[in-house]
């Protein structure tokens, strides 16, 4: 995969960034996320997880089944968007 390919559009992470993380010791999607923020955006890796796994496989030779999957981190509780926009207390709008 070319270095210029955007892997994570939410966080603007390129294939070059992911490959650099692998050189630093990242060998799972969650390792990549910690080093690059790839998969940390709005979609929680729904779009970029397959590309992360592909690059890990390509660079390390690990079988796909041994690479693992990205673990999304959902909010603790839902918050009404207007609460975030106005800076109100999230507990008052649930």
CATH number at residue 20: 1.10.10.1100
The answer to whether residue 1 sits within a structural domain is: no
The answer to whether residue 10 sits within a structural domain is: yes
* Distance in angstroms (rounded) separating the CA atoms of residues 56 and 35: 14
Q: Residue 23: its pLDDT value, please?
A: 97
| Structure tokens belonging to residue 21 | 């993380």
The answer to whether residue 65 sits within a structural domain is: yes
Structural domain for 18, as ranges = 6-93
Q: How confident is the model at residue 75 (pLDDT cuts 50, 70, 90)?
A: low
Is the model's pTM score more than 0.85?
Answer: no
Count of structural domains, the chain: 1
Q: Residue 87: its pLDDT value, please?
A: 72
Q: What percent of the chain has pLDDT over 70?
A: 87
The answer to whether residue 26 sits within a structural domain is: yes
């Amino acid at each position: 995969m070319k270095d210029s390919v955007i892997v994570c559009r939410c966080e603007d992470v390129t294939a070059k960034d992911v490959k650099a993380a692998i050189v630093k010791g990242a060998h799972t999607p969650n390792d990549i996320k910690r080093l690059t923020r790839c998969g940390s955006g709005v979609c929680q890796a729904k779009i970029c997880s397959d590309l992360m796994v592909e690059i890990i496989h390509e660079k390390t030779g690990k079988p796909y089944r041994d690479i693992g999957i990205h673990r999304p981190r959902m909010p603790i509780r839902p918050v009404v968007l207007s609460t975030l926009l106005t800076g109100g207390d999230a507990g008052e709008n649930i």
